[in-house]
Amino acid sequence: MLNIIICGAPGCGKGTQSDLIVEKYALKHLSTGELLRREIHEKTELGLVAEKYISEGNLVPDQMIIDILIKNVDNETNGKGIILDGFPRTVAQAEALEDLLGKRNKETTMLLDLQVNEEELVNRLLKRGETSGRSDDNLETIKKRLEIYEQKTAPVNGYYKSLNKYVAIDGMGTVEEIFSRISEAIDSKK
Ligand code: AP5
Ligand code: MG
């Protein structure tokens, strides 16, 4: 079983690479950002709360995300494992995840940290913003998301380094080049 976390700054390619990982390794894709956007689209109570945080570039409160995650991890049934995209985003979320998996006799295989420079991140997100319709793909919110990433999410890397599960991946280049680096990292742990 492979339980892989794909992490990195906004626009680093988590969603793009997750799709390729899902195809090759038959994992279940869990993107907390996608789950939240679905709730917003369906105008649920949770969606209404989440919308304000997301459009301002802030993180949604930990407990709200952890509840969503528990529901979805337990729906994972094919036994191959999961790819977590955009979670954990704080050390508190990482601790909750490890606790949750441990109680189910599972564990995180590795955290892949996709490293992309800031200029490229901003360019990718502004380009996507021309068509995505995402309320957070504008320059002001992108800058805020990058700040929040440095403050709250980057420390998650240290947490997984201490567990010996941290793998840095060069996230610059073509989608295919990056995927081949990721595949190599996954295959070396299988
Ligand atoms: P989330 O949806 O996770 O957004 P994000 O982290 O800001 O990242 P993105 O989805 O924007 O980028 P990505 O890394 O997936 O890159 P992508 O592949 O799309 O979260 C959104 C918000 O939800 C958060 O700000 C927060 O408010 C809330 N939230 C979510 N999870 C949460 C949590 N756990 N706790 C609290 N709050 C949470 O690529 C980006 C673009 O670049 C695309 O257009 C793509 O086509 C292009 N691209 C990809 N790869 C390349 C390449 N190699 N070369 C050129 N272009 C490329
Ligand atoms: Mg994404």
Per-residue tens of pLDDT for the chain, all 190 residues: 999 999 999 999 999 999 999 999 999 999 999 999 999 999 999 999 999 999 999 999 999 999 888 888 877 667 899 999 999 999 999 999 999 999 989 999 999 999 999 999 999 999 999 999 999 999 999 999 999 999 999 999 999 999 999 999 999 999 999 999 999 999 998 7
Q: Which residues contact 124 (CB under 8 A, 6 or more apart)?
A: 11, 13, 116
Report pLDDT for 76. 66
Residue nearest to atom 8 of ligand 1 (CA): 10
CB within 8 A of 165, min separation 6: which ones?
108, 109, 110, 111
Predicted model pTM: 0.96
DSSP-H helix ranges across the chain: 14-25, 32-41, 45-55, 62-73, 91-103, 118-132, 139-148, 154-162, 175-189
Question: Ligand 1 centroid to 11 CA: how many Å?
Answer: 5
In DSSP terms, which residues pair with 2 in a beta bridge?
A: 81
User: Quick one: pLDDT at residue 70?
Assistant: 84
The per-residue pLDDT for 79 is 82
Q: Give the Cα separation of 37 and 9 in Å (integer).
A: 18
Do 82 and 28 touch, CB atoms closer than 8 A?
yes
CB of 59 closer than 6 angstroms to any ligand 1 atom: yes
CA of 86 from ligand 2 middle (Å) equals: 7
DSSP letter, residue 27: P
Ligand 2 centroid to Cα of residue 137, in Å, is: 11
Which helix (H) or strand (E) is 117 found in, with range?
A: none
Where residue 43 falls (left for φ over 0; alpha for ψ -120 to 50; beta otherwise) is: left
Nearest CA to ligand 1 atom 26: 59
Tokens 């939240």, residue located? 36
Q: Which pLDDT score, from 0 to 100, does residue 142 have?
A: 98
Q: What pLDDT was estimated at residue 21? A: 97
Residue 60, ligand 1, Cβ within 6 A: yes
Ligand 1 pocket test, pick from 7, 12, 16, 95 with the greatest ligand atom count within 8 Å of Cβ, gives 16
